[in-house]
Structure 1
C-alpha cells in the first residue's frame, strides 16, 4: 500500500463561479508534490453530474482535461455514484476510504456555502477549509454582516431584502436605500462570490436594473454604501490559533474589482505588501483574525477590507472561506510574501484538515439513557 496521502480534489459545480473553480483546480494540480500525494480528481458539471478520472500522474495540461467530457453519466445512475462508488470500492478492498482527505475547490453556491461540507461531514471524511457553519455564514453576505456587527467590527451601511419583499413593496425599499445609503451604491446577490451579479448604481434607474440583475443569481439582495477607499486583503490560515499574512492591496483595472478584473484581463495590480504604515497593517491583521474567529473559521479564508482614503478608517467588507488559487489570486501570493510558498501552503492546508478531523473523532455523538 502506498504511503502517499490520498487527496480528492472536488471542483466545478453548479455555480456562477464554475469556470473559476476549474482554473483553481488546474493551478492546484500543478502545485501538488506527487511524490507525497496521490491526487484523485472529482469533477461536478454545471448540471450537478459527478465525473471522475484516473489519479493524476502529473499536472493537468488544461482545465478542459479536468472535465472528463468523454465520460458522460450513464442514464439513470445516481449523481454521486462516481464519488461514493469509489469509496465503496475502496472499502471492499479493505481500505478505510477512497481518499484520506478531500480538497473542495468549489467556489460559490453548492460548494462554498456549507453544502459540500455537510456531505463530507455525513460521510465522515476529512476536508480542507471551513466547516458547515463558517461556510454558510461566510457565503451569505447578510448573515455575515450580522455576525460581524455582533462582534463590533466596523462596516459600511447596508440594506437587504428578498425577492418577495421587493415585489411586495419596492417603493419602500427604494426610498429606504436613497435615504440611508444614497448614490452611488453597490448591489449584490447575497449568496455568490467572485463579483458575479454585482453592479454599481448611480441613480434610481440603475438601482432598479442592478436589483433585477442580482435577483437572477439569488433570492436575496444586499445594497451597500459606496466608500471612496483603497481595497486591502489579508490571508488567514489555521484552526484554533489562526495566523494572518501580510496585507495586500488591489488596484483594479476596472471601476471596481469585478469578475473581469479578477480573472480575465490580468491587468489589476496587486501591491504586496500594501504601502501602509506598520500600525495600520497590524490593525487590519487583527481585525482579520477577529472576523475569522467570529464565524468559527478553520483552514483558510481571505478577509477583504476597505481603507477609506480621506481618513484611513478601516471597514471590513467580507470573508471568503474558499478563496481562489488561480494565477491571479491574492491568497497564495499573500502567503508567498509572508514566507510560505505555494507548495508549503498546500501541505499546511492538508495537515490542518486532518488535524481538525482527528479532534472531532473524540467527540461523543450518542447518549445512552441509564
Structure 2
C-alpha cells in the first residue's frame, strides 16, 4: 500500500517573477524526500497556460526540465487554462486534478488522476502570491502550503500591508501612494507632497510586485517622474518611500497559530540596493547569518517579525524584512513576503538551517502545517439550516 503524501507543485506563472519561481521549484524538487512524497508537477507558462505530464520520479536536474511540454499535453492554450481545477473531481475530502478532459491520450487511472493530499504553490508575484491561486485552491477544497487568501493579498499589496502594519503599531518609514489615475489627474500635487514629506533620495515601487522588480531610486524630480513611469508599467498603484541609511535584516517565520521566528540574518547587497540583479543574477550579494547584532536587538526584531506575521493572519511561512538604521539602530519594518524563494541564494531556508532546521525538515514542517490548517477548516460549518 502506497502511503506516500501526494504533493502537487505549481510553478512558473503569469508573473514578472516567472524565472524566480522556476528556480524555487527546482530547489524544492531536488530537496524532497521521495521516500515520503509523490510529486505531481503543474507548470504555468508566462501566458497563463497550464501544463502537466508524467509524475516526477527523480529530482529535476535543470530549470529547463521544469518547463516541459509532453506530447500528450500539446493541446491549445485555452484547453489548459483553469479547467483542471474547476473540473476537479472530489473523492472524499480530496480533490483529483485531472487532465482527462483536455488530454485524450492520457489514460484514466494514471498517477495524474489520483487524489492530491496537498498543493505547494511555488509561485511568486502576481497570480501566485497575491491570493488568486490560494482562492482557487480554497474553492477546490484542497490543502495548500503557505498563507491564505487574506494574508497573501495583504502581503502582496504594499499599500494595504503598510496600513495593516500601522494599525498594529509597527514602526515604518514615511511613505506616500497613489493610483495611475490620481497621478495623471494631479501630478504636480503628488510631486510636491513627496518632496515635502519624503524628500530625496527616495524609492519608488509598484504596489503589487515582488523580487524588487520595477523598483527605482530617485535623487531628483526628473528621476522621480521617470521612476514612477517605470513602476506604472507593472501596477496601477505606486508607493514612494523615504530612503533610510540602514542595514537590511531579515527573519524567517514558520507556523500557523503559534508561529516561530528564526535567527536574524543580514543582506549585504552587491548593488546600491537589493534589486532583482543582486538577488538572483550576479550571485555577489552576501548573507551574514546570524546578523552581527546584539542579542537584545535580535530578540526585538524577531518579536516584531512574529507580530507582523500575525497582523496579516499569516500561516505556514513568511520572511519579514527590516531596516536597521545605522545611526541609532532603530528598527523599521520593510515588508512581509508570504512566499519567499527557495533558490540557492534565498535567505529563508538558510535562516532556518542556522536555527537548526535543515531543508528537508523545513519542507516536512510546511507540508504538515498545510495539512493541519486544512483539517482545522474542515471542522468549520459553512452552511446554516433554518428549521
1:87 aligned onto 2:97? yes
CA contact (8 A) 1:239 1:356 kept: yes
**1:177-226 deviation per Cα after TM superposition (whole angstroms, max 9, x unaligned):** 00000000000000000000000000000000000000000000000000
Aligned to 1:46: 46
Q: Distance in 2 between matches of 1:50 and 1:281?
A: 43
Q: Distance in 2 between matches of 1:283 and 1:304?
A: 13
Aligned to 1:36: 36
Q: Does the residue aligned with 1:147 lie in a helix, a strand or coil? A: helix
1:155 aligned onto 2:172? yes
Deviation at 1:345?
0.1
1:85-124 to 2 correspondence within 5 Å? 87-88=97-98, 98-124=115-141
Deviation at 1:80?
2.5
Q: Distance in 1 between matches of 2:212 and 2:260?
A: 26
Q: Distance in 2 between matches of 1:206 and 1:214?
A: 12
1:165 aligned onto 2:167? no
Aligned to 1:25: 25
Task: Count the aligned residue pairs.
Answer: 369
List runs of 5+ in structure 1 lacking aligned partners. Answer: none
CA contact (8 A) 1:253 1:268 kept: yes
1:308-323 to 2 correspondence within 5 Å? 308-323=325-340
Q: 1:185 aligns with which of 192, 202, 206?
A: 202
Deviation at 1:30?
0.5
1:297 aligned onto 2:298? no
Deviation at 1:87?
2.2
TM-score by length of 2: 0.93
Deviation at 1:69?
3.6
Q: Distance in 2 between matches of 1:7 and 1:78?
A: 20
Displaced runs of 4 or more, over 6 A: none
Q: Which moved more, 1:60-69 or 1:329-338?
A: 60-69
Q: Distance in 1 between matches of 2:192 and 2:277?
A: 31
List runs of 5+ in structure 2 lacking aligned partners. Answer: 89-95, 101-107
Deviation at 1:97?
5.6
Deviation at 1:78?
4.5
CA contact (8 A) 1:89 1:98 kept: no
CA contact (8 A) 1:51 1:82 kept: no
Q: CA RMSD in A?
A: 1.7
Deviation at 1:170?
0.5
1:264 aligned onto 2:281? yes
CA contact (8 A) 2:145 2:367 kept: yes
Aligned to 1:330: 347
Q: Distance in 1 between matches of 2:244 and 2:114?
A: 49
Deviation at 1:53?
1.9
